[in-house]
Structures are given as structure tokens and as C-alpha cells.
Structure 1
Amino acid sequence: MTLTELRYIVAVARERHFGRAAEACFVSQPTLSVAIKKLEEELDVKIFERGSNEVSLTVLGTAIVRQAQSVIEQAAAIKEIAKRGQDPLSGALKLGIIYTIGPYLLPQLVRHAIELTPQMPLMLQENFTVKLLDMLRTGELDCAIMAEPFPDSGLAIAPLYDEPFMVAVPRTHALAGETSISSERLKQETMLLLGTGHCFRDHVLEVCPEFARFSNDAEGIRKSFEGSSLETIKHMVASGMGVTVVPRLSIAHGMDDPQSHALVTYIPFEAPVPTRRVVLAWRRSFPRYEAIAALRNAVYACALEGVTRLSD
């Protein structure tokens, strides 16, 4: 068996689909399928159950994929150990980041990373939390910037900052003149939410739990609408479709479009203000700790207006 074959089965286990797994591995589907069939024949076991719409793991396949993930990670660690012996800050750092942080942190972060560690370019992957956790486990990412909470997966965690939430309303809305607002006041409003999969959607539903029932049934279209990104939702707010809750760093993002930004008013929450904790996570076995420390320094070099910086 080869590391390539192990990467293929891990990809199929993650994607539950041969075509998507092949795309993720940058190979054709026949190439991936033949390699996996060869591995199953070599091991004399069936790793996957092939269905018409989805692929699932057999009981033995689950154990094999888990071991394959470990082997891939250890193989990557050998390369990292060799790099570390030369210069732990030399070479790309594979960084994942969730959709509701990336657009607002990355412009500053990349600039400061270039200034502080030009020999360590950032390879960026923007995705959902669950996908980033999978990629961390398999070694496809070195580290990731995410918002707590997320499932405990044995990762090392370093807190970066606590970010307050704010309410976004149309400029002409009755609430636009308020200096602060409680979640109770939002109950009668039409709430705009991110789609399923975004952890920030869950954060908003924790602040306004009454909208959870509207977001899961057909009748709820009268009280909640969904958007694909925070920026799309802010445009929906500007057009008068409803109100939403946004993280503090996302507010400055719209300042480069003053006309659009002027159509939305942002109101702080009354105490206790809801917040999210943003953290940097990496595998405990990742050998380039100096690279992690350098990335944290680049984050702390960012302006991060309106958030509370944290350290260990």
C-alpha cells in the first residue's frame, strides 16, 4: 500500500462520494477508484459500501481509515521534523479559517504575516468548522482559526480574542435610534440568518433562541430568511428585508463602500453582551511550534477594533 492510496480512502471517507473525493485529491475518479479497489484487494477487506447516492464505511473500513489518518499525519510529521531542523519558520503554513472570520481578519493578518515572516507564506483554506477539523486531523491543514465551541478532537488551542456581537438594522428602522438593544427586543423582528453549517448561525440562535423554530420549518419563511454569507445578509438588511446579528469585526469591512454602509445601522447589545471566542487550533503533534507562535504574533499585530485580545 502507498500513502497516496491512504489519502484516497481518507478523502472518500470524508466526502462520502468518489467524485468529490477525486476532485479534492486532484485526480480523475477512475484513478481514485482503481487505487482504492487495489488496496481493498491487497487487504482482502471491503472498506466502503457503495450505494447509488452515497458511500459509507464498513465496520472494518472505519478502523482502517482511522489508522490511515494517523499514518498520513505521522508521515507529514517526518517532513516537518526535517524542516524544523533547518528553520521552523521556513516554508508554507497551511492555515484554515471559518467563513465568518476570514473576510474580516485575513486582509490584516496576511499583511502582517508578510512583514513578520516573509519566508513563511500562508496557504489559506476557508471552510466550515467541521470540515476544517477533518482537515486538521488528516494533516491537510497545519492549524485553523475558528470560533468556540467545537467538538473536542484532542487539538492544542490558543485563545486569540473575544468578539462581541452587534445588531444590524436598516437605517430607517424604528430601532435605528437606539443606543443599545436586548435580544428580547428582537423577538418581533424578521431575523436574517446564515445557512446551515455556519457556526455563527448557531451563535445567533443562542442569542435569539426563539428563531430556532422558524429556521427549521416551512412556515418560518415568514419570520426568518437565510443568506450564504454575512455580506449578503448585510445587503438584505440594507434593502429592508429584516435585521440580523453580526460579529464586531465585520462592521469595518463595509466601510470601503460608504454608500452601502450608510444604509445599515449597527447597535450594541445591552449587558451581558453576547460574544464568541476566536481561537487558533493545531495538532499537538505538529512540530513547528515556532510557526504557530509567529502566526499568533501576526494576529496580535492586527488592529482588531472592538474585540478583547486574549493570551494564554
Structure 2
Amino acid sequence: VRYFLAVASALNFTRAAEQCNVTQPALTKGVQKLEQELGGQLIYRERQLTQLTDLGKEVLPMLERTLASADAVRRRAQEFQRKDVAPLKIGLAPSISASLVLDPIAEIAKFVPGLHVELREGVAEKLVDLLLEGEINAAMVGDVRDVPARIDDWSLFEERYVAVLAPTHRLANRPSIGIDDLRETVLLERAGCDVAPKIQQSYFPEKPPQLGHCSGHDLHLQHMAAAGFGVILAPEHMPRLPT
């Protein structure tokens, strides 16, 4: 492919061979091999006149992209071997705050300058699938039943859940908030939360809680809570707005 692209650019076999740092017979043989693989002539050779055939013109842009992709693969592989790029993909369940992993990652980055971190959020079952498919390297989730044998798992910590609400809320400034209090107030719903079903089964088995507004983003929910729209049940480590 590289030989053909050189000829297509120079329209001269001698100059193309010089550019590729090979002999002209070697370059000609390489182009002929490509023509055999593609099943048609790519270049007209008429004495001093060298032109692309219609097939040559058709495949030229695709072969240019092919060579560029191959070169990019080589560069990426070399960077990986030199650890210029060290990808680390971590999956987080919706109930797990990214703040929990930032300090350890910062320590790793001191020793691996090329560290490239990607955080992906998903429910526990989805993250398990991504681990099995090799799409992520590690995941932090809540309780997972029937973890596949291919996955190593450790219990890292236990985390309390707290009520997050506006200072003007009627439940504010109390030393504690009971389940009965929560049954009588509006809870803001975190869409896709993996802990919400467990909370409902444990503390609201007979009558579901009053669910008000919802969002898939913690920050949006906090702004709504700060404005007095309801109460969030959230992991204790989740970064919170000062309001």
C-alpha cells in the first residue's frame, strides 16, 4: 500500500522507489502484488507516462486512510510500550462518588506520568458485563450477587446514607431524621440509582415513599433540594453544595 501511494503521488516509479528507500524492482513487485490482491490494475505504465487507472483512483482515498490507520496503530503501540499512554478505565455505580477514587489515582499518577483515566457510570450489572468484556479495568459498586468467578472482588468499606436538604426545610437542624419523618416528606429521585430499590424494600416495605422530582445527575438534584423541592438520600461521601 505504501509503495502504491508513493507512485500515486510522484507518478514516477524511480522517484517513488527513492522515497520508499527501496529498489525500483522491489517497489514494482509490491505494487503488482497489491494489484493481484485487489483483482485489477491500479496504474497505467506507458513509457514515461504513469497514470492511475479508474480502479486506482477509486481505492486511493481508502488506501490512504488504511496506511494512516496502520501508522497510528504503530505509534500507539510504541507509546504504550514506553508507557507514554497508560489507560485506566474505572466503572462507578451511581451511588459511588468519584471523590472516593481521586486520591488513590493522584498517587498512581505520580509514578505513571502517562496515566489516562476514564470514569464510566453504570448500574452494577452493566459494570460487571463491561469488566467481563474488557471494556473497563476495575469497578466500584454496591452489593452484587453471584459475581462471576473471573472477577476478583473485595469489600472495601461501608458507607452511611444521609439526608441532604435545604437549611430552610422543616426537617433541617435536627440531630437525626427518622424513617417516619421521611415517609411524610417528598424525596428527590436519582434516576438509575442502584441503592434506591434496597432502601425502599428495607424502610418502606408497605407504602412506597413520596417521590417528587428526579434527575440523572447528583448536582441537579442538589440544586433542587437547595431550592426546597425535597430531600435527597445520598452516600455520605458524595460532594455536596455549600447550600
TM-score band, normalised by the shorter chain? Answer: 0.5 to 0.7
Q: How far 1:237 moved relative to its partner?
A: 0.8
Does residue 167 (structure 1) correspond to residue 175 (structure 2)? The answer is no
**Residue 197 (structure 2) aligned to one of 194, 197, 202:** 202
Equivalents in 1 of 2:113, 2:140: separation in Å? Answer: 20
Secondary structure of residue in 2 paired with 1:205? helix
Instruction: Mark the CA change 1:212 to 1:244 in structure 2 (over 3 Å): closer, same or farther.
Output: farther
Instruction: Mark the CA change 1:173 to 1:112 in structure 2 (over 3 Å): closer, same or farther.
Output: same
Alignment correspondent of 2:219: 231
Gaps of 5+ in 1: 1-85, 215-219, 255-259, 263-312
Deviations 1:137-172 (A, max 9, x none): 112222211111344323211122111111112211
Matched letter for residue 231 of structure 2: V
Is the 1:129–1:150 Cα contact (8 Å) retained in structure 2? no
Instruction: Mark the CA change 1:210 to 1:147 in structure 2 (over 3 Å): closer, same or farther.
Output: same
Does residue 113 (structure 1) correspond to residue 108 (structure 2)? The answer is yes
Q: How far 1:135 moved relative to its partner?
A: 0.8
Does residue 135 (structure 1) correspond to residue 130 (structure 2)? The answer is yes
Kindly tell me the number of residue pairs found equivalent between the two proteins: 161
Equivalents in 1 of 2:106, 2:220: separation in Å? Answer: 25
Secondary structure of residue in 1 paired with 2:163? strand
Does residue 182 (structure 1) correspond to residue 178 (structure 2)? The answer is yes
Does residue 246 (structure 1) correspond to residue 241 (structure 2)? The answer is no
Larger relative CO (CA 8 A, sep 6+): 1 or 2? 1
**Residue 99 (structure 1) aligned to one of 90, 94, 99:** 94
Alignment correspondent of 1:291: none
Q: How far 1:128 moved relative to its partner?
A: 2.5
Deviations 1:236-268 (A, max 9, x none): 111111112111111xx23xxxxx523xxxxxx
Instruction: Mark the CA change 1:135 to 1:211 in structure 2 (over 3 Å): closer, same or farther.
Output: farther
Instruction: Mark the CA change 1:140 to 1:182 in structure 2 (over 3 Å): closer, same or farther.
Output: same
Q: How far 1:202 moved relative to its partner?
A: 2.5
Tell me the C-alpha RMSD between the 2 structures.
Answer: 2.9
**Deviation beyond 6 Å, 4+ runs, structure 1:** none
Q: How does 1:1-312 map to 2 (within 5 A)?
A: 91-118=86-113, 121-154=116-149, 155-195=151-191, 197-209=192-204, 213=208, 223-250=211-238, 253-254=239-240, 260-262=241-243
Is the 2:92–2:139 Cα contact (8 Å) retained in structure 1? yes
Equivalents in 2 of 1:229, 1:210: separation in Å? Answer: 26
Secondary structure of residue in 2 paired with 1:175? coil
Is the 1:194–1:200 Cα contact (8 Å) retained in structure 2? no
Instruction: Mark the CA change 1:137 to 1:209 in structure 2 (over 3 Å): closer, same or farther.
Output: same
Q: Could you tell me the percent identity over the aligned residues? A: 21
Secondary structure of residue in 1 paired with 2:225? helix
Matched letter for residue 231 of structure 1: L
Alignment correspondent of 2:74: none
Instruction: Mark the CA change 1:243 to 1:102 in structure 2 (over 3 Å): closer, same or farther.
Output: closer
TM-score normalized with structure 2 length: 0.56
Is the 1:183–1:207 Cα contact (8 Å) retained in structure 2? no
Deviations 1:253-299 (A, max 9, x none): 23xxxxx523xxxxxxxxxxxxxxxxxxxxxxxxxxxxxxxxxxxxx
Equivalents in 1 of 2:163, 2:198: separation in Å? Answer: 13
Q: Higher helix proportion, which one? A: 1
Secondary structure of residue in 1 paired with 2:224? helix
Is the 2:90–2:137 Cα contact (8 Å) retained in structure 1? yes
Q: How far 1:174 moved relative to its partner?
A: 1.9
Is the 2:93–2:124 Cα contact (8 Å) retained in structure 1? yes
Is the 2:188–2:213 Cα contact (8 Å) retained in structure 1? yes
Alignment correspondent of 1:7: none
Is the 2:88–2:117 Cα contact (8 Å) retained in structure 1? yes
Instruction: Mark the CA change 1:200 to 1:104 in structure 2 (over 3 Å): closer, same or farther.
Output: farther
Instruction: Mark the CA change 1:212 to 1:97 in structure 2 (over 3 Å): closer, same or farther.
Output: farther
Alignment correspondent of 2:37: none
Instruction: Mark the CA change 1:161 to 1:183 in structure 2 (over 3 Å): closer, same or farther.
Output: same
Secondary structure of residue in 2 paired with 1:176? coil
TM-score normalized with structure 1 length: 0.45
Equivalents in 2 of 1:133, 1:123: separation in Å? Answer: 16
